[in-house]
Structure 1
């Protein structure tokens, strides 16, 4: 072989080898993960994420209600007559046992005088009959002695004995009539005195249907003469839809606010769910509601009967829980778990299974599968852009 000729061809061979290596490298680069056919790292794309936070969560049942008196008593006429005076007005405070009204009974002087005359007549009859009874006793005593001496007839003895029995019976009858008349005279005396109506409890006069000089009767229509209510505690009557009422239990907390005091909240404990539909509901296709009652303290008497109450019954609540928006949950699987997309520290999107607890319309409590501070994908996973193809040297196919 001609060494000079061979030496002269070396540079050409080196050049061809370099060209082949370059083409090979370009082909390998086109097939590498950075090509359009392989996804780019998540760190190269801006992701819409949400940082998981801790907080408090409440599951509630909302309702609208009205405030009403919790403890009250009505004062009614107990006798017929005329009201002498009315010393109280609506809004005044009264104490239990305090005099509220006096009712003067109608004058019945003629009847009372007739009863007293009848009593005098009976007492006179009693005195006369007592004398006749004493005489009958003497007659019977004498006949008894004569009979013992066989100095009288049997008919005379029996006649005296019967006269004594009859006199004693008439005496007992007159005494009974006198006792009856005494009771009548006592009733006349009591009914002639003004009837005093006393406060049945301590509280505030909230209704008044009495005026001085008014004539009243027992059981008259038109409502009570007076109503007294204890305003230190009020009752909230809330109307709850049938779809929610089964979630309520006695003793659960109920919060409410009223338009009269913006920004203020009152609380109480559920006392009773009335087990019959509220008036006017559930008829002719209407939705059925039930009345739910609870009490609230009112020491300053700020709350008044008839006020509107926006009520929230606390069905469940958690403190310092891991919270997540409901709309970030994926579908629920057969095991009751939910899936979310988590962005890890390497900015990679990974699927995570969650177990949830208390749930509202906006948020859920995460029991397991997620920790506070982690990033959750808040939007759809972005489509990754393809990498540009490497340049191919001229002359190569």
Structure 2
């Protein structure tokens, strides 16, 4: 019986020893394979770089000077001398209207001038004769005054006929449409055979861009950004037609006339653009960035690092309290470095930002230092529950 007890005791001792050995081996393996505390965080190495602060908007490319060519007379288009994209010189003939009606009117006016000249000659002769008769007292003073008045009226009628004739000849010349400037025809709104009517307003025949090597962008900026935009600031922009090209310009004008659409207030900012190769075309959409400030070779950090706050698991004995909001100084932020196994806060001054990277000013950090950007998700989750640092197993 004692032998049986001894055998059972020996058997249980071996079982307990094996269990203890397994438990100790598991915890030893877990401690051995547990990643270091640094693995809980994602780091960023500080470096020197360039940062540019800008505001963005969309705009439309337009010629710097766009001349609208119309006509002061009505008529049918009988000839066209230019077409879209043609280069023209100042004074060059663009189109010709049918002059038949205006020629007839000019001829009628010329005939009226001849009639007025004949009437004037007769009035001069009558006035001269009346003076001779009055000197011999053959007619009264009243008859002489009538002759003088008829002479003046004849001269006025001649002047009126000459003015009408000049007007008709001028209108006759308007049937030849000429270019007022040198440039490129960007729009043609007439065809041969079409009748243009210049009754209340001059119809538009052509649109001529004076010089496509000089262009401008009419862009709309929100009222929140307009206060920081000044004349003379540098502008960079891109267009869909040339996605790999970077274009530059200069702010020429900030127009004070606001536009309100759906309660959104915008202001027109005019940007001048050099286009020596004439690859930019009127009407293109430009994605404009007005550069507000630039810094070269400064210490920069990702904006995510400025937003990072370490998560500390609460102790079991701690009572829940409402967190107090810390007063944050304007232009300052807190970065965290890993030191002695815990995140250490370092207060820095924040300069300009490009919405991705920001300039920082501090004497405690330098290029090459590592700062905490964020915590690994699985590490945060397991530390909060008191578990190990291993990633959670994927459920099947």
TM-score normalised by length of structure 2: 0.69
* Greater fraction strand: 2
2:153 counterpart residue number? 173
Deviates more, 1:315-324 or 1:233-242: 233-242
Q: Per the alignment, do residues 174 and 57 of structure 1 end up closer, same or farther by CA in structure 2, a change over 3 Å counting?
A: same
**Secondary structure of residue in 2 paired with 1:84:** strand
1:40 counterpart residue number? none
Say whether the 8 Å CA contact 2:73–2:174 is kept in structure 1.
no
Give 1 or 2 for the bigger CA radius of gyration: 1
2:220 counterpart residue number? 239
1:307 counterpart residue number? 284
**Secondary structure of residue in 1 paired with 2:243:** coil
Please give the per-residue CA displacement for 1:334-371, whole angstroms capped at 9, x wherever unaligned: 55543333457x99975433222113433221222322
1:206 counterpart residue number? 186
Equivalent positions of 1:223-234 (< 5 A) are 224-229=204-209, 230-234=211-215
Distance in structure 2 (CA, Å) of the matches to 1:109 and 1:354:
84
Say whether the 8 Å CA contact 1:209–1:226 is kept in structure 2.
yes
Distance in structure 2 (CA, Å) of the matches to 1:374 and 1:196:
77
Q: Per the alignment, do residues 95 and 114 of structure 1 end up closer, same or farther by CA in structure 2, a change over 3 Å counting?
A: closer
Can you give the 5+ residue segments of structure 1 that lack an aligned partner in the other structure?
Answer: 1-43, 144-155, 384-397
Distance in structure 1 (CA, Å) of the matches to 2:192 and 2:215:
31
Distance in structure 1 (CA, Å) of the matches to 2:372 and 2:103:
97
Match of 2:236 among 255, 259, 262: 255
1:393 counterpart residue number? none
Q: Per the alignment, do residues 126 and 228 of structure 1 end up closer, same or farther by CA in structure 2, a change over 3 Å counting?
A: closer
Q: Per the alignment, do residues 211 and 311 of structure 1 end up closer, same or farther by CA in structure 2, a change over 3 Å counting?
A: same
* Structure 1 residue 59: Cα displacement: 1.6
Say whether the 8 Å CA contact 1:91–1:204 is kept in structure 2.
yes
Equivalent positions of 1:1-397 (< 5 A) are 46=38, 49-107=43-101, 118-143=112-137, 160-192=140-172, 195-219=175-199, 224-229=204-209, 230-278=211-259, 281-283=261-263, 287-329=264-306, 335-336=329-330, 337-342=332-337, 350-369=344-363, 370-378=365-373
* Structure 1 residue 85: Cα displacement: 0.9
* Structure 1 residue 223: Cα displacement: 5.3
Q: Per the alignment, do residues 352 and 115 of structure 1 end up closer, same or farther by CA in structure 2, a change over 3 Å counting?
A: closer
Please give the per-residue CA displacement for 1:144-165, whole angstroms capped at 9, x wherever unaligned: xxxxxxxxxxxx8xx5444333
* Structure 1 residue 73: Cα displacement: 0.6
Q: Per the alignment, do residues 71 and 130 of structure 1 end up closer, same or farther by CA in structure 2, a change over 3 Å counting?
A: closer
Q: Per the alignment, do residues 239 and 138 of structure 1 end up closer, same or farther by CA in structure 2, a change over 3 Å counting?
A: closer
Distance in structure 1 (CA, Å) of the matches to 2:257 and 2:250:
20
Deviates more, 1:198-207 or 1:306-315: 306-315
Can you give the 5+ residue segments of structure 2 that lack an aligned partner in the other structure?
Answer: 1-35, 310-325, 384-396
Say whether the 8 Å CA contact 1:240–1:289 is kept in structure 2.
yes
Distance in structure 2 (CA, Å) of the matches to 1:365 and 1:334:
18
* Structure 1 residue 57: Cα displacement: 0.6
Q: Per the alignment, do residues 315 and 168 of structure 1 end up closer, same or farther by CA in structure 2, a change over 3 Å counting?
A: same
Please give the per-residue CA displacement for 1:40-67, whole angstroms capped at 9, x wherever unaligned: xxxx965754332100011222223332
Say whether the 8 Å CA contact 1:234–1:295 is kept in structure 2.
yes
CA RMSD, 1 decimal = 3.4
Residues matched between the structures, number: 321
Distance in structure 1 (CA, Å) of the matches to 2:146 and 2:300:
102
Say whether the 8 Å CA contact 1:63–1:239 is kept in structure 2.
yes
